């Protein structure tokens, strides 16, 4: 979680050009995060001042929602499979 904190802090303290690139990296990395990391990332992104919310921040929020939904579906399938066995 420390790494997520550091990346988010870096993204929102830098010039817009750097910020955009850092947020794009976070979008790619979100696919590899587990549910707890995604929730933590969402908490960090939700702390952004409303004036700083732009298309890049909205894309991250969308990606987090998609990954959380996918993760929950995987967990549900696994739970069903375990119940059957």
Which tens digit of pLDDT belongs to each residue from 30-73? Answer: 888 888 888 888 888 888 888 877 888 888 888 888 888 877 76
Query: Distance between CA atoms of 56 and 24, rounded to whole angstroms?
Result: 8
Q: Which phi and psi (to 5°) does residue 58 adopt?
A: -65, -35
DSSP for 11-80, written as a single string: HHHS-HHHHHHHHHHHHHHHTT--HHHHHHHHHHHHTS-GGG--HHHHHHHHHHHHHHHHHHHHHHHHHH
Give me the sign of the Cα torsion angle 83, 74, 5, 61.
negative
Task: Judge if pTM exceeds 0.75.
Answer: no
């Amino acid at each position: 979680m420390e790494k997520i904190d550091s990346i988010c802090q870096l993204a929102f303290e830098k010039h817009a050009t750097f910020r955009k690139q850092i947020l794009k990296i976070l979008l790619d990395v979100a696919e590899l995060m587990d549910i707890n990391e995604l929730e933590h990332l969402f908490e960090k992104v939700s702390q952004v001042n409303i004036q700083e919310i732009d298309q890049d921040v909205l894309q991250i929020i969308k990606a987090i929602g998609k990954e959380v939904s996918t993760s929950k579906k995987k967990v549900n399938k696994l739970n069903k499979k375990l119940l059957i066995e």
